[in-house]
């Protein structure tokens, strides 16, 4: 994996929205047919890493939502999420 792709994966300070925006930009650049093969491969690696990051963040959010349980009085109460169920970063 290239350094750019690794940076995309390990950038903990990148929000889901920022990662998705970067992924959309990469897709647009790849679809433009203006990039040489080396850059296409690099962009593909970056895109794959960003897609995984987005997928992981969505999975974490889904798990947190599932952990919300409706109480007897109709209110939602958060339940602790086991660390091992979030997956490895």
| Closest alpha carbon to 5 in 48, 64, 57 | 48
CATH number for region 3-81 = 1.10.287
Question: How far apart, in whole angstroms, are the C-alpha atoms of residue 59 and residue 39?
Answer: 30
- Is residue 69's pLDDT more than 80? no
Contact (Cβ atoms closer than 8 angstroms) between residue 27 and residue 65: no
- Is residue 54's pLDDT more than 70? yes
| Residue 52, pLDDT score | 94
pLDDT band at 68 (very low <50, low <70, confident <90, very high): confident
- Is residue 20's pLDDT more than 60? yes
């Amino acid at each position: 994996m290239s350094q750019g792709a690794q940076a995309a994966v390990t950038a903990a300070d990148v929000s889901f929205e920022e990662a998705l925006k970067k992924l959309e930009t990469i897709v647009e650049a790849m679809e433009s047919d203006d990039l040489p093969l080396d850059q296409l491969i690099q962009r593909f690696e970056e895109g794959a890493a960003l897609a995984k990051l987005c997928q992981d963040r969505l999975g974490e959010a889904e798990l947190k939502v599932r952990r919300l349980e409706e109480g007897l009085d109709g209110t939602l109460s958060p339940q602790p999420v086991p660390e091992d169920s979030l997956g490895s970063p």
